[in-house]
Chains A and B, each alone.
Chain A
Amino acid sequence: MTSARTPAAGTEPAEQPSEDALLSAQDVSKSFGGLLAVSDVTFSIPERGIVSMIGPNGAGKTTFFNMLTGLYRPTSGVISFRGRDITRMRPDRITALGIARTFQNIRLFGTMTALENVLVGEHARMRAGLIGSILRPPRVRREERSAHEKAQELLGYVGLPASVMGLLAVNLSYGDQRRVEIARALASDPSLLLLDEPTAGMNADESARLVAFMRQLRDERGVAILLIEHDMKVVMEVSERVTVLDHGEKIAEGKPQTVAGDPRVVEAYLGKRGGTE
């Protein structure tokens, strides 16, 4: 092992996540059968922070994401959000607490319009139940109306032209689908937004706009962002802190520039020089 290690190397005693962190994960592991996909990762996201998680394909980033949002249950470890243990919570409860996400492969509801997709995102913030939906008392009508207004406002906020809000999600262009997915995530009023490779398939210009948009989100809406990203330019530009995963382990963490110079990170991405240490 090299001596030039970052403070967060996996072999060091587990650090304590800071007390004021919005989300913190403590020694989280996940194994599928015998395969250890994520191994003892300790990680935290500060309030209003923008942090990135990078690593080669198959490093366990998305698995880690899925544990944060409740889709997977960690094999061991504790995840807490605003001081509450969410380790074994259902995805919808976690969303209700204020974590929202997008997917690596866009997962919009294809046969619903852009607007309806965002309305589904508002589900956790709405109250109407079975009886209310059938009888539609004024309370429910008001709620529906303001939900529609909010959905339109959000779609406008992410830059979707008003003319396509009524189109089915499948008929939207790729870029617009990405926009709708972000609007749908924002519809649950999250305080933490998890973006899984949001710039996939975007050109440099679109990526740059997304970077600006993430900052705008943080500044205007106070949303913290966890970003999984392959585009290093985006990561370097937007992140306050970068965490590198490789083979399920955290191999480096720190400011973007520090991490980029870390030999282990270079090794993980480019392979060992000459095949020997």
Chain B
Amino acid sequence: MSAGDGNLGAGGQNRMARIRERYGVLRRRGDAIWARRYARLAIVLVAAAAVILFPYLFQPGSTFLFDLVEAVAFVVMALGLNVVVGFAGLLDLGYVAFFAIGAYTIGWFGSGFFAYVNHTKGIHILTSGLASTLPGIHINLTAGRQGITPIDPGQLPGLNPFDPLNLRPWYWVALGMVAIVLLVNVRLRDSRLGRAWVALREDEVAAASMGVPLVKTKLMAYATGAAFGGMSGAFIASYLNTVNADQFAFSFSIFVLAMVILGGLGSIWGVVLGAIVLSFINTWLIPSVIPNLSSKIGIKVDLTSLSYGIFGFLLVIMMVLRPQGLLPERRRKLEFVEHVGTGPTDMSAERV
């Protein structure tokens, strides 16, 4: 700040020149800030346009587009889980439950499910054919492995028709959900609540002593995550045109968790990347690229049934080579690489 102070005795003119020079520097710096802001705005607008227009590069019913829509839905889910796992540092292995709730909700209300139930003069709940052979009233809310299908596609003005041959409207709806969940992530990260989550993650005792209510603050993270899990569950059920019990396996929670970890816990863009990468490995690399390549050299390799093994292997590799994730978040990087914040800042234990 006081670079010019040493030259105070060098005469008024000299000093004026310095002041002018410094003012010039400041003004140029101010201009630079504005220029950077405009540049950023321009980049955001171009990127948004590119993302919105992206499906026009493909046939409206192409397989790639089909996988892409699913990947975008997974981005919503992973960003929801990111609030729980990445921001608040809580392990959430029951995430699939909210996915299921969302999916069944759209299944029940977006199909003839209840009408169908009434039509057969019995309410079936439970999950298998066994129930219907027993006397009495059965309520079958999940429709078992056959699932609830078909589900009516949504109706949105300007975006019709939603059908399997034109996947663009689906893509745009998923993109809209991503926009919402991105906003929620960014806003929460830099808020009273976001700070409380970081504090909790680092030191629960200190956080509670600073006035952060532990249970309430954690529940808010779970609730936010659950909301987006349910949202994308409803979307995917409607998109795949079916809800069935097999979709909601425990491994699904792990799959979404792997996306968050792969991308970088707490890192918003990292999680977006992680979700897209893992989703495409699941829908494209394993079932189509690997078999195709291997058949070219004359062997038939089908790893579809091993996909969870592959994800596990990928995670192990990540943990060894880059535990902070693909695009690490600043704080998490400190935690993973320099082991900061994994306990009291002082090394000695708290005496009681």
Whether the pair B224, A123 counts as a contact (CB closer than 8 A) is no
Which residues from chain B contact A168 at a C-beta distance below 8 Å?
Answer: 334, 340
Q: Give B residues with C-beta under 8 Å from A.
A: 183-184, 187-188, 191-196, 198-199, 202-203, 205-214, 220, 223-224, 330-331, 334-335, 340-341, 344-346, 348-352
User: Can you report 23 residue pairs joining A to B where beta carbons are below 8 Å apart?
Assistant: A62-B350, A62-B352, A63-B352, A91-B209, A96-B211, A100-B209, A101-B209, A103-B206, A107-B350, A109-B199, A109-B203, A110-B334, A110-B341, A111-B334, A120-B212, A123-B195, A124-B210, A124-B211, A130-B188, A130-B193, A133-B192, A143-B192, A170-B340
Whether the pair B198, A110 counts as a contact (CB closer than 8 A) is no
Considering the complex, give the chain A residue whose CB is closest to the CB of B186. Answer: A134
Whether the pair A69, B209 counts as a contact (CB closer than 8 A) is yes
Task: Choose one: B188, B220, B340; the contact of A110 (CB below 8 Å).
Answer: B340
A237 on the B face (CB < 8 A): no
With A109-B198, A134-B183 in contact, is A128–B193 under 8 Å at CB? yes
Q: Measured between alpha carbons, how far is A44 from B214 in the docked complex, in Å? A: 29
Whether the pair B351, A62 counts as a contact (CB closer than 8 A) is yes
Q: Measured between alpha carbons, how far is A108 from B341 in the docked complex, in Å? A: 9
A95 on the B face (CB < 8 A): yes
Interface size on A, residues (CB 8 A): 54
A104 on the B face (CB < 8 A): yes
Q: Which of A127-152 contact B (CB under 8 A)?
A: 128-130, 133-136, 140, 143-144, 147
Please give the distance in Å from A86's CB to the nearest CB on chain B: 14
With A136-B187, A188-B211 in contact, is A112–B198 under 8 Å at CB? yes
* Contact pattern, A 169-211, Cβ under 8 Å of B = 1, otherwise 0: 1100000010000001101100000000000000000000000
Which residues from chain B contact A123 at a C-beta distance below 8 Å?
Answer: 192, 195-196, 210-212
Task: Choose one: A96, A170, A188; the contact of B334 (CB below 8 Å).
Answer: A170
Q: Measured between alpha carbons, how far is A135 from B335 in the docked complex, in Å? A: 30
A107-B344, A121-B210, A133-B194 given; 13 more Cβ-contact pairs under 8 Å? A62-B352, A71-B205, A100-B210, A107-B345, A109-B199, A110-B334, A110-B345, A111-B334, A111-B335, A112-B202, A130-B188, A184-B210, A188-B210
Please give the distance in Å from A228's CB to the nearest CB on chain B: 11
Which residues from chain B contact A104 at a C-beta distance below 8 Å?
Answer: 350-351
Whether the pair A111, B196 counts as a contact (CB closer than 8 A) is no
Please give the distance in Å from A80's CB to the nearest CB on chain B: 19
Q: Measured between alpha carbons, how far is A107 from B341 in the docked complex, in Å? A: 9
A31 on the B face (CB < 8 A): no
Q: Give A residues with C-beta under 8 Å from B.
A: 37, 57-58, 62-63, 66, 69-71, 90-93, 95-96, 100-101, 103-112, 116, 119-121, 123-126, 128-130, 133-136, 140, 143-144, 147, 168-170, 177, 184-185, 187-188
Which residues from chain B contact A90 at a C-beta distance below 8 Å?
Answer: 208, 213-214
Interface centre among B187, B206, B210, B341 (most CB of A within 10 A): B210
With A106-B345, A123-B196 in contact, is A95–B210 under 8 Å at CB? yes
Q: Measured between alpha carbons, how far is A101 from B350 in the docked complex, in Å? A: 14
Whether the pair B209, A95 counts as a contact (CB closer than 8 A) is yes
Which residues from chain B contact A106 at a C-beta distance below 8 Å?
Answer: 344-346
Task: Choose one: A95, A119, A143; the contact of B195 (CB below 8 Å).
Answer: A119
Task: Choose one: B207, B220, B345; the contact of A177 (CB below 8 Å).
Answer: B345
Q: Measured between alpha carbons, how far is A113 from B193 in the docked complex, in Å? A: 16
Which residues from chain B contact A188 at a C-beta distance below 8 Å?
Answer: 210-211
Interface centre among A107, A135, A143 (most CB of B within 10 A): A107
Q: Measured between alpha carbons, how far is A140 from B187 in the docked complex, in Å? A: 12
Q: Measured between alpha carbons, how far is A184 from B199 in the docked complex, in Å? A: 12
Task: Choose one: A63, A92, A133; the contact of B213 (CB below 8 Å).
Answer: A92
Whether the pair B208, A92 counts as a contact (CB closer than 8 A) is yes
Which residues from chain A contact B196 at a C-beta distance below 8 Å?
Answer: 120, 123
Q: Measured between alpha carbons, how far is A31 from B348 in the docked complex, in Å? A: 23
With A91-B208, A134-B188 in contact, is A105–B341 under 8 Å at CB? no
Which residues from chain B contact A103 at a C-beta distance below 8 Å?
Answer: 206, 209, 344, 350
Please give the distance in Å from A30's CB to the nearest CB on chain B: 10
Please give the distance in Å from A179's CB to the nearest CB on chain B: 14
Whether the pair B209, A71 counts as a contact (CB closer than 8 A) is yes
Considering the complex, give the chain B residue whose CB is closest to the CB of A37. Answer: B352
Whether the pair B220, A130 counts as a contact (CB closer than 8 A) is yes
Which residues from chain A contact B194 at a C-beta distance below 8 Å?
Answer: 133
Which residues from chain A contact B349 at a C-beta distance below 8 Å?
Answer: 105
Whether the pair B203, A107 counts as a contact (CB closer than 8 A) is yes
